[in-house]
Amino acid sequence: MQSLLKGNAVIGQSGGPTCVINESLVGAIEEAARHEAVTGVFGARHGIEGMLKEDFLDLTKTDPATLARVARTPSAALGSVRLKPGKEECAALLKVFQRFDVRYFFYIGGNDSAETAHIVQQLADDSGYEMRVAHIPKTIDNDLRVTDHCPGFGSAARFVALAHIGDNLDNAALRGVKINVIMGRHAGFLTAAACLARLGDDDGPHLIYVPEVAFDLQDFCRRVDDHMTRLGRCVIAVSEGIQDKDQQPIFSTGERDSHGNVQLSGTGALGDFLASTLKKNLKLKRVRADTFGYLQRSFPTVISETDAREAREVGAFAVKTVAARDSSSGSVAIRRIGNGKDYGAEYFFTELSNVARDSRSLEDQYLVSGSPDVSPAYYDYVAPLAGPMPEVGRLADARVPKPGTAH
């Protein structure tokens, strides 16, 4: 039996914030207090950036009532970062950890964060410095491997679904074409969640376009035209990451972020391009486009309770697992047990290398071949994650007869 590995813990948050990323942070802080092995709990400001600058907050200094409020507060309370460190920076990181007697490193983020965690773990192993590294999953894109789904996704899916419930009613009241552009560079999970807004017959979104399916502008126009003919209106959910058959973006400003990725969010360009294409090709008058942008990942009060609870538990599970004797490094994953009303989840550890680098896309079972839509299986997948939708009231369709006509 191994002896207990005693030392400090560092926790960091990385990548795009979510509404529940602080639940994972607080889950980890609270759990750490229960383990003799963890002597101090340091929060890195702005992830790797703060670690390299030795910019740490003592997380034991925040009182429990404030911590409870932090957990319910969207966005990354420690600050976040988009830096993806190379081997050299990871080596510098390890030196900082050694200086601060850090034996536990928890990184809350996506697959880039898992890769950082993996490199640090390998460097520590190579240099004979005993430490445990845990990746705590977080992403609104839901694009991590192994896990059934990612903390952060459910609340973002809830925002997208609620937005479409309201937008579908708005579009029914003032008819026309409405395009909604949703986050998700490579994975269409979040865009697909718009299907939860279909509460009644003919409710939108009427078309759902995800990056996993090649986008064809002509086919798009034809399908919108069909809906305008049939219903007099059309609501379209489209991922910011849609690509043509040659995997080229349909429209982009050309700007690149620090990862070298083309900028997709924070601009209305794709929506405006699709709207003007429809106006021109179909001679339509009322075509509007909204880009949900950062609202969908940071809007307070729009939180899936399932997502919040799981995010908290995933943070706690990471600490409990690595602080135990005979533990090893890894990434926390969620296994679904039961679905629908019997939905439940349990947690397990998987190798960091299983989650690092590669990402997940919408599986074929969630798509509908030859149609810009998602399958009933996808609805069943996402419904318990986003939580119950509000009831929508509709007036009885009882027409008043014209005077003088038979009743």
Catalytic residue among 55, 112, 126, 141: 141
167 binds a second copy (CB under 8 A): yes
32 binds a second copy (CB under 8 A): no
Q: Is 216 a catalytic residue?
A: no
Q: Which residues pair with 108 in a beta bridge?
A: 13, 136
CB 14 within 8 A of CB 135: no
User: Which helix (DSSP H) or strand (DSSP E) does residue 123 occupy?
Assistant: helix 111-127
Nearest distance in Å: CB 295, a second copy = 5
Alpha carbon distance 327, 310 (integer Å): 22
CB 292 within 8 A of CB 181: yes
148 binds a second copy (CB under 8 A): no
Q: Which of 342, 402, 406, 407 binds a second copy (CB under 8 A)?
A: 402
User: Which helix (DSSP H) or strand (DSSP E) does residue 309 occupy?
Assistant: helix 305-323
Phi-psi region of 86 (alpha: psi -120 to 50; beta: other; left: phi over 0): beta
Tell me whether residue 179 or residue 345 sits nearer to a second copy (CB atom).
179
Alpha carbon distance 142, 189 (integer Å): 6
Tell me whether residue 122 or residue 267 sits nearer to a second copy (CB atom).
267
Number of Cβ within 10 Å of residue 160's Cβ equals 30
Site for a second copy, residues 177 to 206, rule: CB under 8 A: 178
43 binds a second copy (CB under 8 A): yes
Tell me whether residue 42 or residue 349 sits nearer to a second copy (CB atom).
42
CB 83 within 8 A of CB 48: yes
Nearest distance in Å: CB 256, a second copy = 10
With CB under 8 A as the contact rule, which of the stretches 182-190, 212-220, 263-271, 327-335 interacts with a second copy? 263-271
Q: Which residues pair with 256 in a beta bridge?
A: 262
Nearest to 240 by CA among 264, 259, 216: 264
393 binds a second copy (CB under 8 A): yes
Q: Which of 162, 274, 314, 334 binds a second copy (CB under 8 A)?
A: 162
Site for a second copy, residues 45 to 64, rule: CB under 8 A: 46, 54-59, 61-63
Q: Which of 302, 311, 322, 362 binds a second copy (CB under 8 A)?
A: 302
Q: Which residues pair with 367 in a beta bridge?
A: 374
Q: Which of 6, 35, 84, 100 binds a second copy (CB under 8 A)?
A: 100
The residues carrying an active-site annotation are 141
